Amino acid sequence: MRIVKSMYVVAIAVATLTSCSSVKNMAVPTMDTAVSMAAKQGTVSDEQFKHWAHADLVTDTIPGMSLDKAYQFLEGKTGETVIVAVIDSGIDIEHEDLKDELWTNPKEIAGNNIDDDKNGYVDDVYGWNFLGGNGVAAPEQLEITRIVAKLNSRFEGKTAENISEEEKADFEKYQEYLEAYKAASKNHFNTMERLAQIEGVMNSVKEFIGKETLTIEDLKAIKTDDVAIQGQANGLIGMFSNGFDEKAFNDYYENQKENKNYDLNFDGRAIVGDNPEDITDVNYGNGFVIGSKDVESHGTHVAGIILASRKNGLGMRGVAHNAKLMSVRAVPDGDERDKDVALAIRYAVDNGAKVVNMSFGKSYSPHRHWVVDAIKYAEKHDVLLVHAAGNSSEDIDVSDNWPNDSFDKINEVADNVLTIGAMSVNYNEKLPASFTNYGQKNVDVFAPGVQIYSTVPKNEYAKFSGTSMASPEVAGIATLVRSYYPQLSASQVKHIIMNSGTKLDLEVLVPGKKDEKVNFSTLSISGKVANAYNALVLADKMVNGK
């Protein structure tokens, strides 16, 4: 799930008015407020801070990934080109910092409406779009909404007395799902109710003053003995004084009306035209991998972190050179479908990707076996999958966060998946990002994920935060290792990154738990922060024995 940068300030204002909590499991634009002590003291410039994730703890006093040091180590060495697939919402492949780093299908002729390479995908020149449509994909429900909607046809309105013995177990699960849906959707529906109330207030005041639009000057000019109208005007003045106007409100309200995450009656698959319950129904989607340049910023940001050009002097530098970007659209404005994720992984594998970034996740996965089979397929073909741990401030050894490389959170079914937690620039108790998921069994390593500067549509750049940003940092390191040491398997690269990370002996705040502290090493399997320099040195020792 993602939020549009242009709507961010409006969302904050409305959240304040409606007591709406922030949405879980998404990357969001962040304000430049939480900077490191070094930055506050002026020892780090604004330009340097844009690339804090590349810094070195010893030389720069910033707990980054030692990327600049890694490139010094690589001087004089020659690496191979590595195809990196980004499974996401869509990517602006025309961006100035990405357009020269694109994978193109060498066997496909663009625009001829023929499946030239006979891989089942027509005109898949830059990748594939599993979401349908030629612009913004249709909105989608959350998985819990889809589950409840499906079960409603069997159980809605029934009580335990109406249920046969054969259906009793399913009915009990339905009750659990229904409660989870109600809890998840409560804030959304409360927000929509409050927005409708605000709209009613605006209409009432406009009718009173005889105008079709409102300005703060109009509101301040209202002086009336009508207590209700005066109170409404004063309330709106408070809103408008915070940079909130009628147009911003209307835009935000319309945006929220389009949110189908909790709409039980919505069919988000109509635009696609496939059967999402049938993994063998594969003839759907198209080659339109960009999405809308106005809103599909998430995938563009993720791609830039991994491989934005390091040689064109523009904007930023990605973690990896020698990389080519394959764009695979499978993440809608809602929860991704298990079928799309499984087929997206297989598409990336079949078309030569050696590293796949997956900055998405959800709490329910009814067809998780499809995804696990795809993960095993990637392992069989020596492809490394890098996955964001999620932004719910939860211990995912206990809470669910799919996709996962196991069925039970304990026993891995494959050894080619890295799950990444997010850390901040603060080398103190606030080192873990406040939003990050963690887990001693299910998070492998941490990486920078707060205020990460990268590409967004229309040749622009922005700072986003999320495990969605930490994951591509590590995908970039993996790409470097696979480029310079192609002899190493996906499993070996995974364990090199985990074993070579920076060990930080710090007492830190547990994400999501007020004032509770633990040693940072207990928040992941490795207990470390990914380090590009160390990873390359260890890889070199393994390959060359030095």
Active site residues: 88, 298, 468
Scanning the structure block, which residue is given the tokens 């196991």?
A: 406
Of 501, 125, 135, 102, residue with least CA distance to 304: 102
Taken as a whole, the chain contains a residue count of 546
* Secondary structure letter of residue 401 according to DSSP: -
Q: Please write down the HEC assignment for all residues of 71-124.
A: HHHHCCCCCCCEEEEEEECCCCCCCCCCHHHECCCCCCCCCCCCCCCCCCCCCC
Q: Are 505 and 519 in contact (CB under 8 A)?
A: yes
Take residue 419 and report the two structure tokens written for it: 């799950």
Which residue pairs, CB below 8 angstroms and at least 24 apart, start in 114-123?
119/350, 119/351, 120/282, 120/283, 121/285, 121/287, 121/347, 122/286, 122/287, 123/286, 123/287
The conformation of residue 144, written as its DSSP 8-state character, comes to: H
358 closest CA partner among 84, 65, 145: 84
**Which residue do the tokens 């801070």 mark?**
49
Nearest-angstrom CA–CA distance, 507 and 504: 9
Contacts of 63 (CB under 8 A, 6+ apart): 55, 57, 423, 425, 427, 431, 502, 504, 529
